[in-house]
Structures are given as structure tokens and as C-alpha cells.
A and B are shown apart, each in its own frame.
Chain A
């Protein structure tokens, strides 16, 4: 099983400042089809998860461009260029390269 490890566990951020979340997998997430199935999700308090980024860096339609994803192989990063109040919540990475698909433990973004 591929284990996904997110850091930090919690990220207190000042409004307007950047935030960065790391996700590390125990194996490369490059699939035999050439795609890298690494997805980032946001879950606001009391809301269902919402996908921000899929395949490392592809932003879902409607997601603000202050969210960006990068990385390769086993190391991935989600960046928020300028944190806004609506960005508060828990962020998860997920790998869909191998069964069972697995999630990181989550990173809580909160306002300082």
C-alpha cells in the first residue's frame, strides 16, 4: 500500500500571506499509462470535499488561480499564493495510481 504523508499537520497563516503543503508518497505515483494520479482536495468546515487540483497541477474549473500544484515522482506541493478567509479548512492529497487508493492525513489551514 502506498502511504501518503502530509506536512505540516497544521498551518496557521496570516491573511494575504502564502501557504504551502507538502505530500510525500512511499512509491512513485507515475502510472504505467504515463499519468501521475495525485489529487489535492479542500474540505471547508461542514462541507464535502472539493477537488482543487488533479494530476499534480491541473486546476479544476472554478478553482481560483491562487491555488497551484507541483511536484513529481514521490514529492508534491500545494501552494496558496495569498491565503483568503475562505481557504480555511483541511487539505488532503490522494493517490489513485495503485489499489488501494490512499489519502494523506490532512493539513489544517487556519488564520493566525
Chain B
């Protein structure tokens, strides 16, 4: 059964870093691009980044460019999001989703950026 499980959420102070992981199972991970999407409490969905199936091509939303890095380890079926210089506006639930259509999503992990 296809499954995406996110890890790594928590409370972090502004300016600090955090790394999220998304472990995939039930499909050939290395065949698919992967996305990160986030959602602030009570708000809509906000696309963050996407990485190609081989990890070579990476694209980011302007709001995170230069601060966040998406990566993957196909041998471990794992997607990552390294988040640096975190801001209060980065607070929210972060989801990984299978590309290119974002046709399957994980349950999300909550990031709270607060002093």
C-alpha cells in the first residue's frame, strides 16, 4: 500500500534550522518527482518545493528560496527538506506529496517557529 510518512516536526526558534524527512513505501520512489507543500493553521495550501525523480532538478517557491533545500535519497526511499533561517511565517503543517500530479500525500508534520 502506498504510504508517505513525514518526520521531523517540532518547535524551533526563529533563525534556527530544522530538517524534515518523508519516508515513502508501496511504490518505486525513484520513478517519481516529489513535492513539499505546507499549510498554516486555518489557511489554504502553499506549495514549497519539488525535486525531480533523480534529484538533479529542484525548484522552490520564492518565499523559501535560498533558505530551504529539498533533497532525496533514492536508496532509502526518503525525501528531505532542510529548512534554515526559519521565520514565524514558516509555521504550519508540512506535507510531502508524490509528483508530478501530487496524487498522494502524507499526513503531515507540524512546524512551529516561535521564540
For residues 91 through 111 of chain B, which have their beta carbon under 8 Å from a beta carbon of chain A? Answer: 93, 95, 99-108
Of A54, A100, A105, the residue contacting B103 (CB under 8 A) is: A54
Q: A39–B102 contact, CB under 8 A? A: yes
Size category of the binding interface on chain A: 20 to 34
**A49-B95, A99-B50, A101-B50 are known contacts. Are A37 and B104 too (CB-CB below 8 A)?**
no
- Give chain B residues whose Cβ lies under 8 Å from the Cβ of A54: 101-103
Complex CA gap A100/B103 in Å reads 17
User: B44, A103: Cβ atoms under 8 Å?
Assistant: yes
Closest to B45 in A: A103
A99 smallest CB distance to B (angstroms): 4
Query: Is B11 an interface position by the 8 A CB rule?
Result: no
Which residues of chain B have a CB within 8 Å of any CB of chain A? 35, 39, 44-47, 50, 59, 61-62, 93, 95, 99-108
If A37-B100, A48-B95, A106-B44 are given as contacts, then 20 extra A-B residue pairs at C-beta distance below 8 Å, sorted by A number, are A39-B101, A39-B103, A41-B105, A49-B39, A49-B95, A51-B102, A51-B103, A55-B101, A92-B45, A96-B35, A96-B99, A96-B101, A96-B102, A100-B47, A100-B59, A101-B47, A101-B50, A103-B45, A103-B46, A103-B47
